[in-house]
Amino acid sequence: LTKNRGYDVIVTGLDGKPEIFTDYSDHPFAHGRPAKVFNRRGEKSTASGRYQQLYLFWPHYRKQLALPDFSPLSQDRLAIQLIRERGALDDIRAGRIERAISRCRNIWASLPGAGYGQREHSLEKLVTVWRTAGGVPA
């Protein structure tokens, strides 16, 4: 469904209907839009964009990083900051992708071992994608 390499994706709700956004001026949930229920337990999410960033953290990082909007560049900068804060940026640069994934799993529910009760990608699949994209293991 994405029209912009995932930068326009909104978390899929319990109804299973995929959704995208087109206004990058702010996080899609910034102006009072209700969070989406994503499971039968009634848990809600505001995850949006390529890295499924939660609105809860957006105002802080928007200010800290002086992000002008929720554009692809701003989403990339925010994701890199989150990776940096977990101490995983040097792991990625050094080719220690498994370690980097482990350090970041508490941020992204789809990483293996995240434990959020959502679908998790296998470590093997993620490493394969990383290598295909040019990642070089340590």
What is the per-residue pLDDT across 122-137, written as a single tens digit (0 to 9) for each?
999 999 999 999 999 9
Residue 57 and residue 40 share a domain: yes
Domain interval for residue 22: 1-79
Rounded to whole angstroms, the Cα distance separating 132 from 98 reads 15
CA 101 from centroid of its chain's CA atoms = 13
Is residue 89 within 8 A of residue 79, CB to CB? The reply is no
Question: What CATH number did the domain enclosing 74 receive?
Answer: 1.10.530.10
Whether residue 57 is found in the same domain as residue 123: no
105-117 residue pLDDT tens: 999 999 999 998 8
Instruction: Indicate the number of domains in the chain.
Output: 2
Q: What is the pTM of this model?
A: 0.93
Q: Are residues 71 and 39 in the same domain?
A: yes
